[in-house]
Structure 1
Amino acid sequence: MTDTWNDPWAEPATPPPPPAPPPRWAPLSRRATGFGPETTLYEAVPDHLRPALRSWVRDQWRANQAALEELQWRMRRRFDDDDMDYLDGEDLLDVIDGILRWWPHDQLDDTQRHWTNPNQVLPGPRTQLSEALTGGGSIWRINADGQGLEHRVDDTVTAATAATVTAASVEAGGHLGAAWTAAYGRHPDPDKAYAEAVKAVEAAACPVVLPNSGTATLGKVRDHLRDASAKWELVIPGKDGTPGSATPVVTLMTTLWDGQRSRHAGTPTSRRQLQEEAEAVVHLAALLVQWLHSDVLRRKP
């Protein structure tokens, strides 16, 4: 038998994604008057959700004191039992985000068994938190890998982006995933989100369009497709029914490339990226990466 050693400094293993939350419930008074569930989303921690989130954090603290000590030095903050009565707002969300990231994942998964029915799996801490955030109308939810919080985005859009991250090359998928986290995570970084989105498209486009170039960039790929358009086509047909031109790809790449105002500094138009710009280009990059990975853009025979 081979002995194994667990590196305490290694990155946590990626757990399976959290289960889908149950359908939203509406109080009887709303159902009786023809209304469905409340649709308001709360950015901070609303009064009605604060007790449940504090209780969830308290349970995790009591279950793993060693992990709590690690979280304290990672957050550069000491927590006492009395803090539970006052933890709120950004601090409370940061602690929850840290627990999801650094707690042993087997302690958060749905692995508990009902004592009278071993075949029944009871909801674990991650599912309990997901249900509280969803049911309480929080704009925050657990991200796809279960290791932190992110802004709530339409489920179909999130699933499509996650599928693209998984299907793309390791490099392109890694950059696209980093762009998503930088745009929608607990501490958004629009400059990083935009830069990672550009890199994701470069990682997908350069091997397809300029495979023999050691200095290819998204700008050079865009220029080649524009200047050598007769060599490229889309699987999407034009009006005459034949494969379409590469113009839509050139246009999308130009939008992504020219919009990165944070790439350089010291020019009249250089500046930090805005949050809405970062969110927009993450989805733009996801579309381009998916097209490039799926051969939507191809060389003419």
Structure 2
Amino acid sequence: MSEGDEAGNLLALAWHQLFGRNPNSAVAYSTTVKALEAATKNSIAPKDEKYTLGKGLSNMRNQQWHYAIEADLGETAESPRNVDGGVIQLMMRSIWEAQHDRHGAVEGTNSISPEEARAAIFLAVPVIQAFHDKLVVRPTS
């Protein structure tokens, strides 16, 4: 992650919240989601002042985004090899849907466990890097 990049800073904060001296799994998870939002907003909905990960996922699904395996092959290459954006969307959606405490206190809902927060952070890293490297792209046609 780029130093000074908002998504990278948020992900570092999430990491510290999970693995630091006073761990807080719920804050780590929530901050991971914020890092994903920071990483994806400018690509998906740069003008949306109330952008959320859920809105981004809906846009990606509706617009049929894809994940470029090779983003820039140069002038001599035929065309980038792309796969359905579903791979990245599944990773993002699993983080978003598994955050069971995002709508406030719900009776019977437990706090986010360290294992859940760890899974979210570890899954977010490649997604954030893919957006940072512009490997997740809106369809051109």
User: TM-score scaled to structure 1, two decimals?
Assistant: 0.41
Q: How many pairs were matched up? A: 131
- Structure-1 separation of matches of 2:45 and 2:69: 22
Quote the Cα distance in structure 1 between the aligned partners of 2:81 and 2:27: 39
Structure 1 pair 269–201 and aligned structure 2 pair: CA distance change class (3 A): farther
* Correspondent of 1:252 among 91, 107, 126: 91
Change (3 A) 1:224 1:283: same
Structure 2 match to 1:187: 22
5+ unaligned residues in a row in structure 1: which ranges? Answer: 1-163
Asked whether the 8 Å contact 1:168–1:289 carries over to 2, the reply is: no
Q: Match for residue 77 of structure 2?
A: none
Task: Specify the code of the residue in structure 1 equivalent to 2:53.
Answer: L
Query: What is the alpha-carbon root mean square deviation over aligned residues?
Result: 1.9
Q: Name the structure 2 match of 1:286.
A: 125
Match of 1:220 in 2: 55
Matched, 1:207 2:46: no
Measured against aligned partners, the alpha-carbon deviations of 1:65-98 in whole angstroms (never above 9, x if no partner) come to xxxxxxxxxxxxxxxxxxxxxxxxxxxxxxxxxx
Which amino acid in 1 is paired with 2:68?
Answer: V
Take 1:255 and 1:278, find their aligned partners in 2: how far apart are those partners? Answer: 12
Task: Identify the residue that residue 110 of structure 2 maps to in structure 1.
Answer: 271
Which structure is richer in relative contact order (CA contacts within 8 A, separation 6 or more)?
2
**TM-aligned CA distance change 1:173 to 1:281, over 3 Å:** same
CA offsets per residue over residues 31-73 of structure 1, 9 Å max, x none?
xxxxxxxxxxxxxxxxxxxxxxxxxxxxxxxxxxxxxxxxxxx
Q: 1:283 to 1:168 in 2, by over 3 A?
A: farther
Of residues 234, 244, 251, the one that matches 2:67 is: 234
User: For structure 2, which runs of at least 5 residues remain unmatched after alignment?
Assistant: 71-79
Matched AA of 1:261: H
Secondary structure, aligned partner of 2:93:
helix
Indicate yes or no: 2:123 matched with 1:296: no
| Partners of 2:60 and 2:89 within 8 A in 1 | yes
- CA deviations 1:201-256 (Å, max 9, x no partner) are 00010111111111110000011111111xx221127xxx8411110111111101
Q: Deviations over 1:166-199 (max 9, x none)?
A: x266211111000000111122110010011000
Q: Matches of 1:262 and 1:170 in 2, distance apart? A: 27
Measure, in 2, the Cα distance between the counterparts of 1:192 and 1:298: 30
Does structure 2 retain, via aligned residues, the 8 Å contact 1:169–1:204?
no
| Maintained 8 Å contact 1:201/1:285 | yes
Runs of 4+ in 1 over 4 A off after TM superposition: none
Aligned to 2:74: none
Q: Work out the CA distance in 2 between the residues paired with 1:269 and 1:247.
A: 32
Per the TM alignment, residue 290 of structure 1 is displaced from its structure 2 partner at its CA by: 0.5
Residue 201 of structure 1: SS of its match in structure 2? helix
